[in-house]
Structure 1
Amino acid sequence: MSVEIEQQSVQNDYLVVDVDADIVDGLNGFNPVGLGSRFRKSGNYTPISAVGVGDILSVTVFEADNGGLFSGESGNSANFPNIVVDRDGQISLPYSGAITVKGKTPVEIQNLVVSSLEGKAIQPQALVNVVRNESNVVTLNGDVTKPGLYPLPTKGARLLDIVALAGGTKFAARETFVTLQRGKRQGVQLMKTIIEQPNENIYVSRGDRIFVSHDPQRYTVLGAVQKPSVYTFDAATISALEAIAAAGGLQDARADATGVFVFRYEDPAILDSLNISYNKMRLGKVPTIYRINMKHAKSYFYAQSFHLRDKDSVFVSNARSVEISKVLRLLSQATGSVGNVVGTYNRFD
């Protein structure tokens, strides 16, 4: 089997890569494009929550002395508790007229109110608060306890903050993926990675759509193992050696220890980082077979450090003598010459 894979790799347009220390280190050290690099701006960026159409504001105006525009029984101030930002992005206050506030922060709106009252009120001051945030929201759906619309605080909010507001996810972090859509851009990341890597816990922005989905990662073990089957990741990471152990280990009488293979559609960026040549004309991911020769003691360390990914297939090939015995058994069934066939097999064994 090992020889056949090598011989057919050229014509079938797939790669065969022998696993060694450099390959293992390169695979484990590669950082794929995630949410952080796709969406996050440079530096310690905290988004400023600007006012939008439909938001409800509270505006309080203060004057420095009695006898001003806003003087009354309650003092030298006036409170306007429920001012709605209209479809033109404006609000209207007595003596101020229409003020365009869309896209402005509360502090910027305060300055606009004060400017509009200069020369009319006595040394005016203003305080603006967002009572209800109708525009600066994100949408969260999927496998969370409370899906819905969530307003963003003025200080900004990260992905995990929004998920926490929704009561958390319904399933384990290693089985949960987060998809974030922002305009025409989209990114997907494993929840466990977002928790463990701070740069993936990005700030969300107004209008973001977040979808949380339960998608357990799986791998397949086939060939000369005790229990070939499809397995679910029961830990954050599973090595090739652990996958074989989960399948009951190698069948001593059948397995070819030189032919342990991991089949994977590999990201071209990873192959580039490993300096592995491949057909650049091919679009999408590259069919790649990683070969581990378990006859060498050091390969056990490679297999222990070779982490599987979702949808990987581990295949343990049969020893050459097993393949020959299959052919001879077919011959014995066809000719009935059992004695001659057994003798022939003994000479190969």
Structure 2
Amino acid sequence: MSLEIEEQSKQNDYVTVDVNSDVVDGLSAFNPVGLNQQFASSQRRSPISTVGVGDVLSVTVFEADEGGLFSGKSGNRAEFPRVEVNNQGYISLPYTGTIKVNGKTPLQIQELVVENLEGKAIQPQALVNVVRNESNLVTMSGDVAKPGLYPVTSKAERLLDVVAEAGGTKFPARETYITLMRGEQQGIQLMKTVIEQPSENIYVSRGDRIYLSHDPQRYTVLGAVLKPSIYTFDAATISVLEAIAAAGGLMDERADATGVFVFRYEDPKVLDTLGIPYKRLVRGQVPTIYRINMKHAQSYFYAQSFHLRDKDSVFVTNARSVEISKVLMLLNQATSSVGNVARTSNRFD
């Protein structure tokens, strides 16, 4: 079987790679494109919260002396606790007229208020706060405790901040994927990776849609093992050696230790890094078979360091003697049948 796979790989469009220390090191060092790279253009600095249509502001105006426009019982100031940004992005205050605030920060709006009161009020100053945020929102849905709309404030929230605000995930991080949709862009990452790699915990922006989905990572073990089946990752990482052990180990009387294979659709960048040529891409990936010869002592270390990925398949081939035994068994059955027919025929003679 091992030889058949190698021969067919020369004729077909998949790649066969013998696992050695260079391959293991190359696979361990490879980092696929994540959220940080995919949304790099909007992650160079933390986003600044700006005011939008529907937001409600509180505006307080101060004057430096009595007798001004806003002098009264409360002193030299006037408070406007609920000022809503209209559909055109404007607010209106006494003596200032309409001010376009859409896309402005609270600090910029303060400066505009003061500018519009110059020459009317006595050395005016202004204080602007967002009372209710209706425009700087992100949508959180899927497998979170409290799906809904969550505000993006001036402190600049990251993905994990919003997930925590939504009550956290319903399932373990290693079984949960986080999908971020921003305009026409979309990226997906394992929640465990977002937690472990700070660079993947990117800033959220107004209008982001965040979806958490429960999708346990799985691998398949087939061939000459005691318990061939589909298994879920019960730990953060699973090596080939651990996968074989989970399947009950190799069958001593059947397994060909030279033929332990890992079937995977590999990222072409990995093969480029390893200097391995390939012919064809399938949905952007390269059909790849990694071969580990377990008869060599060092291969056990390779199998221990070779980590499986979601949807990988491990296949242990049968020994050639087993294949020959199957043929002999079929021949024996055939000859036995012929013998039975002959003996039955003789009884009638």
Which residue is equivalent to 2:135?
135
1:262 and 2:262 correspond: yes
Report the alpha carbon displacement of residue 323 of structure 1 after superposing the two structures with TM.
Answer: 0.3
Query: Aligned partners of 2:252 and 2:23: how far apart in 1?
Result: 27
Question: 2:164 maps to what in 1?
Answer: 164
- Contact 2:16 2:289 (C-alpha < 8 Å) held by counterparts: yes
Match of 2:219 in 1: 219
1:12 to partner: Cα distance: 2.3
The corresponding residue for 2:241 is 241
Alpha-carbon separation, structure 2, partners of 1:274 and 1:141 = 39
In the TM superposition, residue 276 of structure 1 has moved relative to its aligned partner by: 1.0
Would you say 1:327 and 2:323 are equivalent positions?
A: no
Q: Distance in 1 between matches of 2:162 and 2:48?
A: 16
Q: Is the 8 A contact 2:14 2:280 kept in 1?
A: no
CA offset at residue 42 of structure 1? 7.8
CA separation in 2, counterparts of 1:161 and 1:283? 34
Is 1:65 the counterpart of 2:50? The answer is no
| Preserved contact between residue 91 and residue 101 of structure 2 (Cα < 8 Å) | yes
- Displacement of 1:155 after TM fit? 1.4
- State the partner residue of 2:112: 112
Structure 1: distance between partners of 2:213 and 2:179: 8
Gaps of 5+ in 2: 340-349
Partner-residue secondary structure (3-state), 1:336: helix
Is 1:23 the counterpart of 2:23 in the alignment? yes
Do residues 205 (structure 1) and 205 (structure 2) align? yes
1:1-349 map, 5 Å: 1-41=1-41, 45-279=45-279, 284-336=284-336
Looking at structure 2, the residues matched to 338 and 46 of structure 1 have their Cα atoms a distance apart, in angstroms, of 83
Distance in 2 (CA, whole Å) between partners of 1:275 and 1:135 is: 50
SS at structure 2 position matched to 1:65? coil
Equivalent pair of 2:43/2:203 in contact (CA under 8 Å): no
* Distance in 2 of aligned mates of 1:60 and 1:337: 102
CA distance in 2, matches of 1:199, 1:66: 53
Question: For residue 342 of structure 2, what is the aligned residue in structure 1?
Answer: none
Q: Which amino acid aligns with 1:116?
A: N
Please list every run of 5 or more consecutive structure 1 residues that lacks an aligned counterpart in the other structure: 340-349
- Check conservation: 2:281, 2:287, Cα contact below 8 A: no
* Aligned residues of 2:43 and 2:202 also touching (Cα < 8 A): no
TM-score, length-normalised on structure 1?
A: 0.95
- The count of residues paired between Structure 1 and Structure 2 equals 339
User: Deviations along 1:221-244, whole A, 9 cap, x unmatched?
Assistant: 000001101000000000000000
Aligned CA distance change for structure 1 residues 338 and 290 (closer, same or farther; 3 Å): farther
Instruction: Tell me how far apart the structure 1 counterparts of residues 132 and 73 of structure 2 sit (CA, whole Å).
Output: 28
Asked if 2 retains the 8 angstrom alpha-carbon contact of 1:40 and 1:203, the reply is no
8 Å Cα contact 1:50/1:103 also seen in 2: yes
Task: Tell me, yes or no, if the aligned pair for 1:258 and 1:295 is still in contact at 8 Å.
Answer: yes
Residue deviations 1:203-234, cap 9 Å, x none? 00000000000000000000000110100000
Residue type at the aligned position of 1:28: S
CA RMSD for the aligned pairs?
Answer: 1.5
Counterpart Cα distance in 1 of 2:42 and 2:89 = 30
Following superposition, the deviation at residue 44 of structure 1 comes to: 5.8
Aligned 8 A contact 2:57 2:131 in 1: yes
- Which amino acid in structure 2 is aligned with residue 259 of structure 1? G
CA distance in 2, matches of 1:189, 1:172: 14
Note the C-alpha offset of 1:337: 8.4
When normalised by structure 2's length, the TM-score is 0.95
Counterpart-to-counterpart distance in 2, 1:42 and 1:126: 31
Conserved? CA contact 1:60–1:127, under 8 Å: yes
